[in-house]
Structure 1
């Protein structure tokens, strides 16, 4: 295969192509590489920092980076997975939950697993964000609600646990409502499934469901979903989100923690966020509605989007929770809606809640706490504190005491905040940021040697409009909140560096050529890698943001880049398959994992 690099040089690639993941390759013996510098789990380790100490690729030579090999899955689209590299083998999940084991040096296919879903009715696009590898097993959580273990040497299924029943979902389908709402094509309803890469800790496989707070997504004029309306229907749309732990040896469930609190989920009907920002709530109206909505917690939402961080010394895991249901419509769920929109700390052995910090009580804007938390040592006047940081859709990066949850600090705003927490109205309320960010599910890289965090930040505004469909002979009145991109407001992305050693000050911010997605990778070579929706993978100088290299991967970057080393040669890998936002954008989707290295 011939590919034109940035410099115009013709590059001949070594390609490992899987003509289809529907065929199982022959079983091969894995040869461990004692000199491999691995990427053994999501985030590289339990801190979730997405930072590598490798220095072979650095500021001085990154411009020479070229493709080393490409793996094509044969299935186009929604390729968001972060690869895992263990003992010289790369493990990769694809759209539709297929899995491949590849020789990390060459891309040679060692085995593939073809997932057979029990139902076509899944939550959202059929994307998967990665696997976990531990103890000779590959663990995956699937969109059709299963948690399974594969033999790392052969791909053979060792156990397959049904965590969500295939019929579990809304009784009223999206197609039933499309005509009623005057909408075009509508995707999805509340249906539980898994997107996050599992966390393996203390002999447990820990994973949480997505889809609990899902609204109905209406396609925009380009045929995409991210730019279209999100319809949050008044009433019972939603499910009760949960995080569960499964025995890594057998797949048996050991504990389950529910996001929505059964007793007292209303909280204190607070008028401000915990960090003092007014919420503009109509507390009187909420309290008046409360007697009619005492069981709203049963469908209260709270999806779990990304992998928890883990502190083995404290025995705690840290995970963010999603929006309450119904999405963007608050009167049918009065109160603070505990523990949605929160960073929570749970006991790894039992799932018992140790502390929580609710970023947005009674959310009506879709501000899920979605980005994976990361662990750090945070400087305070009294000395360094073991801390956990969480990037938010509202535009701040919060830092908490890891043991107690106490807020130690928050960054400067990473984006323009306009009418923050202004409620939706019938005339339409313009709010910035909207439900896509500042920072959504994408990982934030953190360099512990400099205390710098590197985030992909989306800048833009959303219009929230309350609409009413009058009652008819066959249906009662329907009220819903519709979201749409605010017209006339700027919309762009930046790669932004936040100095957590200096109170969260912004050190530099560089505007991207297209929307940023997938997350960032920082290395000790002084580099930050970041993918764009137009297909470019970029390398920036971590000190000042200067772009030092970029490569067109052929499809939108929708997953986090990683790096690893074999026999002294450093590689950078990223999935290029696009995502839901690329449909109709002109950039298209793809099926390639692209792996780069310096020339031999």
Structure 2
């Protein structure tokens, strides 16, 4: 499954490829999907077969030793109106079935031996999130095309647990975006337009044998989503909120939770002993603009624990109440046993866009520790203004959706960290006959601020200090893989896959894969031979940065 197992640690106990021989690593075989771009999936290996989902939700089963194609599944989307680019981040394999959640809102089970469809459940129609006012807004915002209007679909690899296939929707928390002449986002992005443009995010569980829905949990809280109008985060950081203004606006916005956002980006972790799953939730809607959604906006921007059998809430920890910066809890949580005075504490960790790694008691949600800052934070939680407010980190993180690897032996977590700042500017477009005034927050890269990536090791076993941090040549993407061979594999958007020494961060090997790396690598062993596999296809970010897109799964091994 995604993340290797239910702990989501992205750690492998394989050690045949190690610090002493990794420099000899060479391509063993390659598989080209035939569809270029947005290749973010992590492959899954089961019983000698690699299962790989591609952009546009096609699936291939490959002989993991030779790359020979065993079968392929070609997905036929029911609508072209999807959320974002046609990316997919992986499948899950269990009980002879391959499970995939698709961009057009379906959850599908394929026979693992043949690729034939066993069941196909339509969970949501993307057009349910379509805004009826996009064309009018386009005219009012300068006549440019408007896109990104909260269409609903799936990005995450499914979690299979307790006989259930568990997935959550993306696209719920967006406002409207204005395209430039090249089809990109004009001036960064125009988001957070005041009004009901979001949708209500949710996580659902489906019977693994039949596809029937068993339970559904909604991110936005119907009764009391305003919360307590807190003035600091739960760990004591000031939020700089105008609570009086929010409370004054609350009576007119009692129903804001109905379009309150809360996308779910990545696969939950699962503790079978406690019967709990752990997931991160996304930003409230409208994005980056909070006047029409007063209050804390529960349970967006939170690490959440749910009962796996019923979907009922056990506990939550809201990292950013009333978010106005896009700090989704996007990176998949991972489980660990943290040393304590009275023995090991069963814990769950969340690497955040705000620049910290939070570690909680798995059973209660109690915050055990918060790591040292992973970046130089600037004006954290300062609200957007008409003059423009520079805040670091911006909406892409510190740590975004790519997974963080964790080595239980050393207690180190390895995170790809983006260092950079964003300018948040409140804009007003005058109304006219039959048109209301429009207010929104525009985001753009802060000029003159440093922008780079690091691979950073955090010692969670000893209080969360930074063990080491190394700067990369280009932006890091896709997440990390740690192994018992003393290696951390990390991909770059310029196409390099790097192997770092776990003790120092030094690069011991790197290979140019021909297209940006935007998905996590895996490693597996067959007949005593260890392999490393990674998708090289790029993403919207790699394309915008001038690096190419591709369609290849590249598999490496040591020469015989």
TM interval, short-chain normalised: over 0.9
TM-aligned CA deviation for residue 473 of structure 1: 1.3
Cα distance in 2 for partners of 1:392, 1:220 equals 30
Q: 2:174 aligns with which of 187, 209, 214?
A: 214
Paired residues for 1:102-121 under 5 Å: 102-121=62-81
Gaps of 5+ in 2: none
Paired residues for 1:499-578 under 5 Å: 499-578=459-538
Cα distance in 2 for partners of 1:177, 1:460 equals 31
- 1:577–1:187: structure 2 CA closer, same or farther, 3 Å change rule? farther
Gaps of 5+ in 1: 1-40
TM-aligned CA deviation for residue 537 of structure 1: 0.4
- 1:243–1:570: structure 2 CA closer, same or farther, 3 Å change rule? same
SS at match of 2:439: strand
User: Does residue 493 of structure 2 align to residue 493 of structure 1?
Assistant: no
TM-aligned CA deviation for residue 325 of structure 1: 0.3
Cα distance in 2 for partners of 1:408, 1:400 equals 5
- 1:220–1:62: structure 2 CA closer, same or farther, 3 Å change rule? farther
Partner of 1:353: 313
TM-aligned CA deviation for residue 230 of structure 1: 4.2
Cα distance in 2 for partners of 1:428, 1:582 equals 27
Cα distance in 1 for partners of 2:186, 2:208 equals 36
Point out the more displaced range, 473-482 or 350-359.
Answer: 473-482
Partner of 1:89: 49
TM-aligned CA deviation for residue 232 of structure 1: 1.1
Cα distance in 2 for partners of 1:377, 1:226 equals 45
- 1:61–1:214: structure 2 CA closer, same or farther, 3 Å change rule? same
TM-aligned CA deviation for residue 434 of structure 1: 0.4
1:8-67, CA deviations, whole angstroms, 9 ceiling, x for partnerless residues?
Answer: xxxxxxxxxxxxxxxxxxxxxxxxxxxxxxxxx111110000000000100010001111
1:397-456, CA deviations, whole angstroms, 9 ceiling, x for partnerless residues?
Answer: 000000000000010000011000000001100000000000000100000111100000
- 1:556–1:220: structure 2 CA closer, same or farther, 3 Å change rule? farther
Runs of 4+ in 1 over 4 A off after TM superposition: 173-176, 183-186, 218-227
Q: 1:55 aligns with which of 2, 5, 15?
A: 15
Partner of 1:471: 431
User: Does residue 410 of structure 2 align to residue 450 of structure 1?
Assistant: yes
Tell me if structure 2 keeps the 8 A contact 1:424–1:465.
yes
1:180-214, CA deviations, whole angstroms, 9 ceiling, x for partnerless residues?
Answer: 22375543210110000000000000000000001
Alignment root-mean-square deviation, CA = 1.4
Partner of 1:321: 281
Cα distance in 1 for partners of 2:513, 2:139 equals 40
Partner of 2:82: 122
Cα distance in 2 for partners of 1:280, 1:131 equals 41
Cα distance in 2 for partners of 1:77, 1:563 equals 23
SS at match of 1:583: helix
Partner of 1:189: 149
TM-aligned CA deviation for residue 215 of structure 1: 2.6
SS at match of 2:336: strand
User: Does residue 202 of structure 2 align to residue 249 of structure 1?
Assistant: no
Aligned residues: 560
User: Does residue 61 of structure 2 align to residue 101 of structure 1?
Assistant: yes
Cα distance in 1 for partners of 2:179, 2:431 equals 25
TM-aligned CA deviation for residue 88 of structure 1: 0.2
Q: 1:232 aligns with which of 184, 192, 196?
A: 192
SS at match of 2:365: coil
Cα distance in 1 for partners of 2:522, 2:77 equals 28
Partner of 1:422: 382
User: Does residue 12 of structure 2 align to residue 65 of structure 1?
Assistant: no
TM-aligned CA deviation for residue 167 of structure 1: 3.1
Partner of 2:419: 459
Cα distance in 1 for partners of 2:146, 2:491 equals 28
